[in-house]
């Protein structure tokens, strides 16, 4: 069963009672929340995700609840809960769904150490994956959204999960988080895309989420072989260009983008070394022309 | 600095490294640090690793000078010395009495 098979009443009932258990790539998350914003966010963005049986093991038990403090009377707030813990301060209730997404990111980066985890988007075509490592503000999610709209399979827009044994990239398809100008840019580039309403005044500015394609979600148990490491840099107005990036420089950039490299020690070093050695490493500059950007990515296969 | 001292690489096995072109990236088990060495740093490190008994600075300079990629300029010895001192700061080389 997938989320889209549930009626809105059934989804509401699951979310407000024991919670709904969703398979998201390699993990199962139990999510509970009384917020309508969370409910509508899950109905839209997780519509193609599998709902697993209540007795299936859940890696994470999370909730987005109103906080218990008197502060809630001054302005509605949402608090992310991880089991019995509340690892973050509450946020305005309007941010309940983004808070769930940020909380799930934290769950994975803080706990899923069976993977080497990089701050990177991953897309795939023809069985070969492009890894897009970048610090925030590099245009990574915008580029990822444009590529996915152009037919690349989404593995992740935020967290690259590297299997330490197979060296393959493990899909973790979830809503693509767009911020500020990239929201309008993707709405123009892909007018048919299903996007949430814009949530303003978050710590990251205005945020909207883009629904992951159902095909990417259905293929979420199919890992991909890394073939390209493309480090994007967005600067308004600059020309779209791909240029070789030295492998040693790429390696150090991946170290900088890793969440848990330090935990894996030499095993992580070896995995990153294999990843870099087996991939074409490129620097990608773009200035907002997404048509040019996706055309250039279409040429990657010729470079391999 | 006396040339009667020898420079040694860390104990075999304590550092993992990977060559990418002329550069090396290294992982130090003892510190958990990852380092990126350019061509000269890489050449110095590999030279020390290949000479388990260590190399005096002059011998290290002679050894590296045989590589046509490196300058034979008068300043080369000073560059090598600075590089080996930088490696020592990173715990990637140690100085011992000859």
Range of the domain at B49: 5-91
Range of the domain at A62: 3-111
Residues A130 and A58 in one domain: no
User: B83 lies in a domain?
Assistant: yes
Q: How far apart are CA A173 and CA A26, in angstroms?
A: 10
Residues A150 and A210 in one domain: yes
Residues A98 and A57 in one domain: yes
Residues of A in contact with B42 (CB under 8 A): none
Tell me, yes or no, if A68 comes closer than 8 A to chain B by beta carbon. no
Residues A76 and A137 in one domain: no
User: Contact A12/A39 with Cβ under 8 angstroms?
Assistant: yes
Residues A158 and A103 in one domain: no
ipTM of this complex > 0.85? yes
Owner of token pair 């407000």: A16
Residues A164 and A33 in one domain: no
Residues A79 and A14 in one domain: yes
User: B98 lies in a domain?
Assistant: no
Residues A140 and A259 in one domain: yes
Q: What is the percent of chain A where pLDDT is above 70?
A: 98
Q: Which of B19, B29, B32 to mutate to test the interface with A (most CBs of A within 10 A)?
A: B32
Q: How far apart are CA B6 and CA A293, in angstroms?
A: 54
Both tokens assigned to A157: 């827009």
Residues A103 and A178 in one domain: no
Residues A132 and A95 in one domain: no
The number of domains in chain A is: 2
Element spanning A221, H or E:
none
Phi, psi of B68 (to 5 degrees): -70, -10
The pLDDT tens digits for A34-75 are 999 999 999 999 999 999 999 999 999 999 999 987 665 678
User: B84 lies in a domain?
Assistant: yes
**pTM of the predicted structure, to 2 decimals:** 0.94
Shortest distance, CA B38 to any CA of chain A (angstroms): 9
Shortest distance, CA A262 to any CA of chain B (angstroms): 7
The pLDDT tens digits for A150-186 are 999 999 999 999 999 999 999 999 999 999 999 999 9
pLDDT at res. B46: 97
Q: How far apart are CA A86 and CA A79, in angstroms?
A: 7
Task: For residue B88, name the pLDDT band (cuts at 50, 70, 90).
Answer: very high
Residue-wise DSSP of B27-47? EETTT--EEEE-HHHHHHHHH
Which residue among A111, A133, A168 closes a domain? A111
Residues A278 and A138 in one domain: yes
The number of domains in chain B is: 1
pLDDT at res. A201: 93
The pLDDT tens digits for A247-264 are 999 999 999 999 999 999
Pick B29's closest partner by Cβ from A248, A266, A270.
Answer: A266
Strand order in the sheet with B94-97: B55-56, B5-8, B94-97
Task: For residue A303, name the pLDDT band (cuts at 50, 70, 90).
Answer: low
Q: Looking at chain B, which residue has its C-alpha nearest residue A268?
A: B27
Residues A128 and A92 in one domain: no
pLDDT at A86 over 70: yes
Q: Return the sign of the alpha-carbon dihedral for residues A223, A58, A195, A98.
A: negative
Cβ partners under 8 Å of residue B32, min gap 6? A262, A265
pLDDT at res. B75: 87
Of A255, A232, A223, the closest CA to residue A118 belongs to: A255
DSSP A290: H
Q: How far apart are CA A301 and CA A123, in angstroms?
A: 13
């Amino acid at each position: 069963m997938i989320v889209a098979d549930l009626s809105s009443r059934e989804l509401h009932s699951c979310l407000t009672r024991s919670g709904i258990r969703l398979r998201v790539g390699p993990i199962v998350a139990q999510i509970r929340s009384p917020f309508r914003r969370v409910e509508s966010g899950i109905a839209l963005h997780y519509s193609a995700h599998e709902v697993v049986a209540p007795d299936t093991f859940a890696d994470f038990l999370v909730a987005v609840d109103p906080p218990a403090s008197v502060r809630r009377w001054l302005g509605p707030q949402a608090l992310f809960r991880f089991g019995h813990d509340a690892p973050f301060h509450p946020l305005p209730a309007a941010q309940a769904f983004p808070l769930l997404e940020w909380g799930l990111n934290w769950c994975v980066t803080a706990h899923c150490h069976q993977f080497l985890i990089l701050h990177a988007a991953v897309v795939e075509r023809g069985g070969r994956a492009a890894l897009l490592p970048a610090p925030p503000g590099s245009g990574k999610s915008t580029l990822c959204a444009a590529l996915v709209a152009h037919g690349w399979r989404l593995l992740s827009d935020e967290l690259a999960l590297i299997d330490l044994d197979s060296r393959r990239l493990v899909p973790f398809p979830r809503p693509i988080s767009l911020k500020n100008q990239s929201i309008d840019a993707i709405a123009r580039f892909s007018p048919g895309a299903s996007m949430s309403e814009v949530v303003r005044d978050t710590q990251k500015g205005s945020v909207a989420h883009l629904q992951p394609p159902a095909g990417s979600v259905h293929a979420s148990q199919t890992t991909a072989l890394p073939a390209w490491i493309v480090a994007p840099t967005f600067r308004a107005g600059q020309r779209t260009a791909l240029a070789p990036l030295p492998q040693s420089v790429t390696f150090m950039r991946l170290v900088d983008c890793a969440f848990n490299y330090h935990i894996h020690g030499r095993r992580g070093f070896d995995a990153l070394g294999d990843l870099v050695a087996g991939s074409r490493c490129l620097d990608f500059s773009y200035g907002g022309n997404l048509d040019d950007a996706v055309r250039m990515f279409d040429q990657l296969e010729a470079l391999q | 600095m006396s040339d009667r001292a020898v420079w040694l690489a860390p104990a075999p096995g304590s550092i993992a490294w990977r060559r990418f072109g002329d550069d090396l990236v290294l992982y130090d088990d003892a510190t958990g640090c990852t380092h990126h060495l350019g061509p000269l740093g890489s050449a110095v490190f590999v030279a020390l690793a290949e000479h388990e008994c260590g190399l005096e600075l002059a011998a290290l300079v002679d050894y590296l000078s045989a590589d046509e990629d490196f300058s034979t300029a008068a300043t080369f010895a000073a560059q090598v010395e600075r590089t080996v001192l930088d490696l020592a700061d990173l715990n990637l080389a140690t100085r011992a009495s000859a």
